[in-house]
Amino acid sequence: MRERQFFSVQNLSIRFGGIQALKDVSLEVKPGSIHALIGPNGAGKTTILNCISRVYKADGGTVVFKGEDVSRLKPHQVVSRGISRTFQNIELFSNMTVMDNILLGRHSKRQTSLLNDALFWGKSQRQEMQFRERVEEIIDFLDLQAYRNLPISRIPYGVQKNVELARALAAEPDLLLLDEPSSGLNVEETQDLAFWIEDIKEDFGITILLVEHDMRLVMDVCDAATAFNYGSVLAYGTPADVVKDPEVVKAYLGEEG
Amino acid sequence: MRFIKRTTYMHDIQLFRYRSTLVWYLLLGVVVLAAPLSMGAYGMSLLTLVGIYAIVALGLNLLTGFTGQISLGHAALFAVGAYTSAILTGTHGVSFWLALPAAGILAAIVGIFIGLPALRLKGLYLAIATMGLGFIVEEIIVHWSSMTGGVNGLAVSRPVLGAFEFSSDDSFYYLVVSILFIMTVIMKNLLRTPTGRAFVAIRDSDVAASSMGINLAAYKTIAFCISAFYAGIAGSLFAHFMYFIGPENFTFLISISFLVMIVVGGVGSVHGAVFGAIFITLLPEFISFTRGYLPEVIGKQVGLQEATYGLVLILFLRFEPMGLYGRWLKIKFYFEHFPFYKKDTFKRERKFYRTEH
Amino acid sequence: MFWQMIVSGLAMGCIYALIALGFVLIYKATEIVNFAQGDIMMVGAFVAYTTLILFHVPYILAILMTLVFMALFGMVIERVLLRPLIGEPVFAMIMVTLAVGILLRSVAGMIWGYETYRFSAGMVDQPVRFAGVSLSSIHLWIMGVTVILIGALYFFFNRTKMGISIEATSQNQLAAFLMGIGVKRVFSNIWAIGAIVAAIAGILLSPIQFLNYNMGYIGLKAFPAAVLGGFGSVPGAIVGGIIIGVSESLAGVYLPGGFKETTAWIILIIVLLIRPEGIFGIQQQKRV
């Protein structure tokens, strides 16, 4: 008997036109761990996240989360199962304030009906207060107080990345998918990010699967890593082992390396 | 600048954030209620029309301004409301107070039927499908004359409440104002709860919205339904106010004029809907007033009103895309922050990406 | 009777196809949906009428003058009204083209009046016997000109340098720009082409319908045609236009009143229900 897995991807495949973007990809994420997906550009890392969150429809394979096959869900159902995500090229609601963006992260927790909302009485009002309370906690956690009521288009890029993280956290996921969280951040911001990622694991008990190029960050915070190239898994293990793997070195540096 | 000390989360959600705002709105309320004292019958009928159009514009703004979907057929939904109410009260003797919600609900149902196939796709398809709805409804009105009176139109009576008949323009004005008030509060409520935020989210980034758990098709359909409901309610009021409706009240140009209202008033703002309704109602008055002063070649033209619509639309989209409400905000901001006003404060983000294939 | 209705439907379908073709070309290159295409067609027909009938310019010269004028007209619309709005939401774009349509219609009414003109555009209407069926020579003219025009456009987009750069831009704007293609010039050229195609449609439409400031409304029916064919597909626009034209013509004979006017829209709703991507449609996906 196999023990019940927290999160696993089995034989995931997807093809865009003539390109096989993922070929029989399998991986497993242990509960309470920080797991990195690494590999050269175009290796298919983001595609995996997109398949898990159902932005892309995979051609084959399954994604199992807490014993349930989540690979046939509609895109909007994924978050209600406990998986939320951020995007590589920021996908915030650019005409809304930071506050409203994070509040949207709580959409999956919504209990009210359209009628409740239209009257804004009792349940709807209480829910709105609860949402705001939780959002303020996240704002405090990620140091976003100064930006609370500014529209997204008027805050710096690094802060926008934090708002994405905050929005994903607001959904109170069990598994958090981060797509290149450190890209575009300066050194200091990246260090802050490293602390937050560890805190998210420690304090909230959220498992994290992230795509990351910054190997320092991966080595510092991740418990496990899977390396890819050309849509296939090259190596799996602790970050330190994976970067030493000859296949991985070859993929990064070319044949001579 | 004003600051407030927030002591409860309610501060952020309240409709009137400052006490002074509340005072101003109460004052506005008094002016609106006292209007019949100082206005003649013609002025009152214009004000009533403003109220009716403002209800349509509120609904359309939810769909277009907040959810980012375009309807080119709102005149058809307006017509569904008007004819439902007219036929129910006229032919079947149903009370106006039942016919009014029925008009809204039927318009919403028609909205679902036409919207459902198009709402799964890009916004453009809804624009084309609703345009089709507009033309189909127009033909139905003309050809189903046993029901609609065809080109001869349909006579409609004023509503009655107990022994009281809303026959005077003043009493009908109060009816419209109270319904507009209710519809505005409902809209405001929707916008400060998850429902309203989901609409705006869909407009800004559909991918992110669906990853936050928003069912795109369902919410777009809800937005379209609410919008149709508003148009239906307004249509019913319009029919009972005008005493008489015919196909010429519900043409493609009327659909366009509804869109002009929200562009001129301010896309994505509740105030804007009212501003836009005022503008569209007063524009013909203004044009007929100025005709006498214009050179004869232009002044005598029949198409002057349409031309003005077109021109106003182009000028607003080009120079004040936030509409009259946006202009008002800028002026207010300028005085509040004097002398620190910067043009960039209201600069909007433009997107330059193309759909990737 | 049946075959006559088919042929007149085909002729009308060719007109729809040309209008649809015009805005699909503009849409592919610029992502702007031009709701004023029908009104540009109306302006084209009126300009031809003015040069030919009012100013008595010789036939060939009059048509050439019309097309040159319309090309410039299209360029001016693009440069003055649409280019400043690049990057604004789709809504703004659609509203601007709608506004342009309203403006053209009312200004045309001011210039040429509101009455309906008869304008044969130099085409003689005489019955032609073909395989036992009596056809109108005008219908054959329309189909002939449409085929030649489509052939010419095909040649232009595949064989000439300008055509290929437009095609490249419509596939990937950024890549085209980096390859040294002047994207702005491409935009203004495609509007010129769109306006020329519209003008030809207008000149062909006048003899079988009427010439009137309101004729642009017919152009709106090219939208169902384009959706039926698959929005954004050039062959789709042509096939869709022809199907709409023929169905409409048959509906006018075999169905009760009111159906002829709404055929196109009923077809549109059926297409959206069962095959929203149309006959030649491509599914599109945004990359995140």
- Which of C283, C284, C288 has the most A C-beta neighbours within 10 Å, making it the best mutation to test the interface with A? C288
User: C162-187, pLDDT tens digit by residue?
Assistant: 888 888 887 777 777 777 777 888 88
Task: Write down the number of H helices and E strands in chain C.
Answer: 12, 2
* Cβ–Cβ gap B207/C288 under 8 Å: yes
CA distance B122 to B127: 9
Residue ranges of the domains in chain C? 2-217
- Which of A79, A120, A123, A134 has the most B C-beta neighbours within 10 Å, making it the best mutation to test the interface with B? A120
Q: B with C: how many residue pairs have Cβ under 8 Å apart?
A: 147
Neighbours of chain A (3+ CB pairs under 8 A): B, C
Bond preceding residue B339 cis, omega within 30 of 0: yes
* Cβ–Cβ gap B357/C284 under 8 Å: yes
B334 or A67, which is more confident?
A: A67
**pLDDT score at A257:** 41
Spatial CB neighbours of A115, under 8 Å, sequence gap ≥ 6: none
**Averaged pLDDT, C58-81:** 94
**pLDDT score at B3:** 57
pLDDT in tens, chain A (257 residues): 345 689 999 999 998 888 888 999 999 999 999 999 998 888 888 999 999 999 898 999 999 999 899 989 999 999 999 999 999 888 999 888 999 999 999 999 988 888 888 888 888 889 999 999 999 999 999 999 999 889 898 899 999 999 999 999 999 999 999 999 998 899 999 999 999 999 999 999 999 999 998 888 999 999 999 998 888 898 899 999 998 888 888 888 775 54
From C88's Cα to the closest Cα of chain A, the distance in A is 13
Of B299, B7, B336, nearest in space to C110 by CA: B299
Spatial CB neighbours of B231, under 8 Å, sequence gap ≥ 6: B55, B56, B59, B60, B74, B77, B78, B80, B81, B107
- Which of A47, A55, A85 has the most C C-beta neighbours within 10 Å, making it the best mutation to test the interface with C? A55
Read off the pLDDT band of B6 (50, 70, 90). Answer: low
Q: Where are the beta strands (DSSP E) in B75-189?
A: 154-155, 160-161, 164-165
Q: Say yes or no to pLDDT of B269 above 80.
A: yes
Residues in A closer than 8 angstroms to C288, CB to CB, are 50, 55, 87-89, 91
Burial string for B318-351 (b: 16+ CB within 10 Å, else e) reads bebbbbbbbbbbeeeeeeeeeeeeeeeeeeeeee
Q: Say yes or no to pLDDT of B186 above 70.
A: yes
Residues in B closer than 8 angstroms to A125, CB to CB, are 13
What backbone torsions phi and psi does residue B268 show, to the nearest 5 degrees?
A: 80, 30
User: A54-77, pLDDT tens digit by residue?
Assistant: 989 899 999 999 989 998 999 999
Neighbours of chain C (3+ CB pairs under 8 A): A, B
β-sheet bridge partners, residue A35? A209, A224
Read off the pLDDT band of B1 (50, 70, 90). Answer: very low
From A72's Cα to the closest Cα of chain B, the distance in A is 15
**pLDDT score at B355:** 38
Q: Other C-beta atoms within 10 Å of B353: how many?
A: 11
**pLDDT score at B299:** 66
From C245's Cα to the closest Cα of chain B, the distance in A is 16
**Which residues in B have their CB inside 8 Å of a CB on A?**
8-10, 12-13, 186, 189-190, 192-198, 200-201, 203-205, 207-216, 222, 268, 347-349
**pLDDT score at A1:** 37
Residue of C nearest to A87 (CA): C288
C272 vs B118, B253, B310: nearest CB? B118
Burial string for B228-259 (b: 16+ CB within 10 Å, else e) reads bbbbbbbbbbbbbbbeebbbebbbbebbbbbb
List the 25-44 stretch of B: residues with Cβ below 8 A of C.
none
Antiparallel, parallel or unpaired: β A207-211 and A175-179: parallel
**Averaged pLDDT, B61-71:** 92
Q: Which two tokens stand for residue A58?
A: 């995979």
**What is the reported pTM?**
0.91
- Which of B8, B211, B348 has the most A C-beta neighbours within 10 Å, making it the best mutation to test the interface with A? B211
**Averaged pLDDT, C216-226:** 92
Q: A with C: how many residue pairs have Cβ under 8 Å apart?
A: 7
CB-based contact (8 Å) between C288 and chain A?
yes
Q: Which two tokens stand for residue B45?
A: 């009928």
List the 241-270 stretch of C: residues with Cβ below 8 A of B.
256-258, 261-262, 264-266, 268-269
